[in-house]
Amino acid sequence: MSLTILGLSGALTHDPSAALYVDGKLIAAAEEERFTRDKHAKNQMPFEAAKFCLSYAGLKPSDVDVVAFPFAKISLFGPARWHYARRYWYAPDRALDAIFNGNRHYRRNVKKVRALVEKLGINWDKIEFDAVEHHLAHASSAYHLSGFKEKTAILGIDGKGEYATTFFGYGENGKIHKIKEFYDPDSLGQLYASFTEYLGFEMLDGEYKVMGMAPYGNPDLYDLSRLIEFDGKDIKVNTELVNTIGLRRYKEGRRGFYFSQKLIDWLGPRRKGDIADDPYVHYAASIQKMFEEISLKLIDHYLGDILKASGKLVFAGGGALNVKLNQKILDLPYVKEMFVQPAASDAGTAVGAASFASWKRSVPPETMRHVYLGPDYTTAQCVQACEDHNPRPNFEAIEDVPARAAELLAAGHPVAWCQGRMEFGPRALGGRSILGCPSHVGIADKINEQIKFRERWRPFCPSILDSVAREMIQTDHPAPYMTITFKVAESWKLRVPEVVHEDGTSRVQIVDKETNPRYHALLKEMELRTGNGVVLNTSMNRRGEPMVCSPEDALNMFYGSDLEYLMLEDLLVTKRSSD
């Protein structure tokens, strides 16, 4: 008998998504923002994403057996709610609420899920509803999809779920075991996010900008240790400075931030603008170093014995998108292989809740092989989109798309590459990408300034052939999802300078022929023309926008930038001279 599970995320008012499992196979997954064109789709539920998943699988609403959601009830008899109340004593309304009405958010979420399910045409009374603890969903999204068979260490770092903020555990024979959790406000992820706000970026969006800024600063110029107490096994965030709520929050007009006036008094005004300047660039370096050092010591304390036995680690939660931390974890002598869930943020909890629900029903989820899980479009649909677009572009059918794209790239032109199924997760991996030739000096600045409209200091990443990975990044470790940075060999730094960051690393995607044959063919063509099987790859979107999904989205982005060439399935799209 078939088992169909629809996973839905959106429990924490950002990054709603949907994922569909049928008999343990992940058929489709997508984020709501890609359909609504509203980045992070805050305060929305994944209606369009869920509708797509069902449609792609050819299923009716009545075919759904289970709806899984990554937010569960938390008992008053456990430590979480009491810890929250004790630590937020200065906001008595929140503290008392945690004790006497601590599952208020759960009940509100269930109402929202039920309304969404009914809007989709699914009969609530004929399905099973599976509420999965938030960090168990993160853990499942990494462990159950990793393919690891040995006893496996599980790490989860994010802002918060219901109350938990950090998860240490292990997986064995499919079962996930908790070792230790930390609870709000003692959160490494929220500490980093709060400081992201202080550094002038949006929380949930700017953390990777802080990480990208950090290599330009000196982490030893400023001591930020008063932000957190750490004794080697426990953390206590200083809520007089960060992770603040209520009246402690620093405000600008009506907008409140997750840090206090005391932080401003100590470090100076909140950074504004796009310049990576002093002292903020050094603050970024210092917070990144602190985040790394505490995380590594906690891993050693709680997971060290497991890792020394098996060498296997899986990681999810927003903190898992910190690729510099991931590099340091992989450098630990007892970590042999690490799987980072590519959709590590809350978007990935739709997959995690569904995979956990599948495992619980004795249908093991399959190993994740790729993230090309979103919509795809035929060339005929792309032709129609071109004909309907105003202004109407030039377009021509191309017989050998990889060869023509490589020709343009090798000549120094950026090329938008919209091919096959859209990626799930935050990284463009050759489905919805803007590409450049990484040996062409200045191409990164051109894409930043004229196409992406983003900060000059933001790094770009390479997609590389599997056949050159060993030589370029000096490791055989898998890297299909741009989730880990690696040191680039000295000779390759000179060959592909536009994709090597300030600290000599690259966040690479290793491309194999099986998972993306057309993209692999493009890299082979680049190798023939330039000697390097490498392209600069960044997501196809402008600053502040989600990655494109449809041909219409791609054309809108194309005309909203200085891009000259768009490979839209089998079409080469250009602008008319009068446009």
Please, what is the Cα angle at 426 between 515 and 482, to 5 degrees? 55
- Contact between 532 and 468 (Cβ < 8 Å): yes
The answer to whether 501 is a known catalytic residue is: no
Tell me whether residue 527 is exposed, middle or buried, using C-beta atoms within 10 angstroms of its C-beta: 0 to 12, 13 to 18, 19 or more. Answer: middle
Neighbour tally for 99: CB within 10 Å: 13
β-bridge partners, 4: 22
Tokens of 494: 């000179």
Whether 352 contacts 137, CB under 8 Å:
yes
SS3 of residue 279 by DSSP: coil
Beta strand 312-316 pairing with 337-340: parallel
Residue 462's nearest CA partner among 521, 538, 563 is: 538
Q: How far is CA 198 from CA 174, 269, 345, 367, 538, in A?
A: 41, 8, 21, 39, 26
Q: Which SS3 state, helix, strand or coil, does residue 525 take?
A: helix
Angle ∠(286,291,293) on CA atoms, nearest 5: 95
Q: In the chain, what's the furthest Cα-to-Cα distance?
A: 70
Q: Nearest to residue 157, comparing CAs of 284, 51, 313, 29?
A: 313
Residue 65 CB neighbour total at 10 angstroms: 17
Four-residue CA torsion sign, 232, 236, 238, 244:
positive
Instruction: Select from 265, 325, 340 the least CA-distant residue to 295.
Output: 325
- Could you give the CA distance from residue 221 to residue 13 in angstroms, rounded to a whole number? 37
- Find out whether 32 and 16 touch, Cβ atoms under 8 Å: yes
Question: What is the sign, positive or negative, of the torsion defined by CA atoms of 79, 85, 86, 88?
Answer: positive
Long-range contacts, 90-99 (Cβ 8 Å, 24+)? 90/239, 90/246, 90/247, 90/248, 91/245, 91/246, 91/247, 91/248, 93/246, 94/245, 94/246, 98/163
Q: What distance in Å separates the CA atoms of residue 120 and residue 109, rounded to the nearest whole number?
A: 16
With 0-12 / 13-18 / 19 or more C-beta atoms within 10 angstroms meaning exposed / middle / buried, residue 446 is: middle
Active-site positions read: 14
